[in-house]
Amino acid sequence: MNAVRGRFAARTVRVKAPGKVNVSLDVGPLRPDGYHSVASVYLAVSLYEEVAATSTPGDGITVGISPDSTLDLDGVDIPLDERNLAYKAAALMADVSEHSTGVHLDITKRVPVAGGMGGGSADAAATLLACDALWNSGLSRDELAQLAGELGADVPFALLGGTAVGLGVGDDLSPALAKAQMDWVLVTAEFGLSTPDVFKTLDRLREAEGLEVDEPTAVDPKILQALRSGDPDALSRVLVNDLQRASIELAPTLRDTLGLGESCGAIAGIVSGSGPTVALLAHNPEAAEGLAEELRHKGLTALPVHGPVPGARIISDTLL
């Protein structure tokens, strides 16, 4: 515990971590363990979650949502107890840290909840890094990535950021050297989709069609080529998301959103992960701004973003 002349000295470490878009997502058959193998290209985008971790006396963990959050969280279900992914991350770090204190986690939510962009996973990655600093755990990035994998399939990527290929359940990550900026418009929905429900729907659709798929083992190299060369037209031809039709089955309005995006000038559109966020590809930042503006006029919530951006990083460390 930090103590100054017998008094507890609180410290706040603030970390930001990005949401992600799956530029490609191939999904294998349901495995006997209930999971699905995937082959995916992850892209970290400039929509960030922030976690401020403040040390508290004792050893408790508390979670709050910051009023600075830009999402309308009315009626949105974010558990603030041990079910919260940030809570789980802090509990895991406390287990492996010798000198943990209590901690309060104040989360600024910007990534849509249950939106298919890994917002909860970004909170978990940010919390791991914040608590590592707060408790001087001194873990390496590899050790943090190992802990991240225990918290959920998308957590290691939120820690890593950039562009990466994900195999296994998505947590077997290889960074891809693709730094060229791509511009997108994210269209967020007023509802969420449960990731397990979307996977179940895909299994059901495939079964009804008698469609048998192989285990995915690699991503299409054309996707990485397009990302490396920064050629959005080439990328638009290879965007793929096996979950998209399952998300549309559960939320048919997503088809309209994709159609509207393209009619307003997007080069291509894709449901992000399990949805319902839709990612629309634009030629450049100005085109993304213009597209977002036009979609907002039509009543949609549209945010221009770019990627790749770095993974979780500390933005301040203050002794209070």
Binding residues for ligand ATP, per CB under 6 A?
77-79, 83-86, 107, 113-121, 123, 154, 192, 195, 273-274
> Out of 16, 20, 88, 109, which one is annotated catalytic?
20
Which CB, 103 or 226, lies closer to ligand ATP? 103
Whether 20 is catalytic: yes
Tell me the C-alpha to C-alpha distance, in Å, between residue 46 and each of 104, 121, 251, 310. 25, 15, 26, 9
Whether 171 is catalytic: no
Which CB, 198 or 264, lies closer to ligand ATP? 198
* Helices (H), ranges, the chain: 85-96, 119-134, 141-151, 155-160, 195-209, 221-229, 232-236, 244-250, 253-263, 285-297
Q: Using CA of residue 311, residue 118, residue 152, residue 131, what is the dihedral sign?
A: positive
Taking the complex as a whole, the smallest distance from the CB of residue 286 to ligand ATP amounts, in Å, to 28
Cα-Cα-Cα-Cα torsion 180, 239, 249, 79, nearest 10 degrees, comes to -30
Which CB, 48 or 267, lies closer to ligand ATP? 48
Which CB, 147 or 267, lies closer to ligand ATP? 147
Q: How far apart are CA 154 and CA 273, in angstroms?
A: 11
Tell me the C-alpha to C-alpha distance, in Å, between residue 295 and each of 19, 51, 170. 21, 30, 32
The residue type of 128 is L
Q: How far apart are CA 98 and CA 91, in angstroms?
A: 13
Q: How far apart are CA 31 and CA 115, in angstroms?
A: 24
* Omega within 30 of 0 (cis) for the link into 276: yes
> Out of 154, 171, 183, 242, which one is annotated catalytic?
154
Which CB, 83 or 237, lies closer to ligand ATP? 83
Taking the complex as a whole, the smallest distance from the CB of residue 163 to ligand ATP amounts, in Å, to 18
User: Token pair for residue 134?
Assistant: 């707060």
Taking the complex as a whole, the smallest distance from the CB of residue 23 to ligand ATP amounts, in Å, to 14
Taking the complex as a whole, the smallest distance from the CB of residue 290 to ligand ATP amounts, in Å, to 27
Taking the complex as a whole, the smallest distance from the CB of residue 319 to ligand ATP amounts, in Å, to 26
Tell me the catalytic residues. Answer: 20, 154
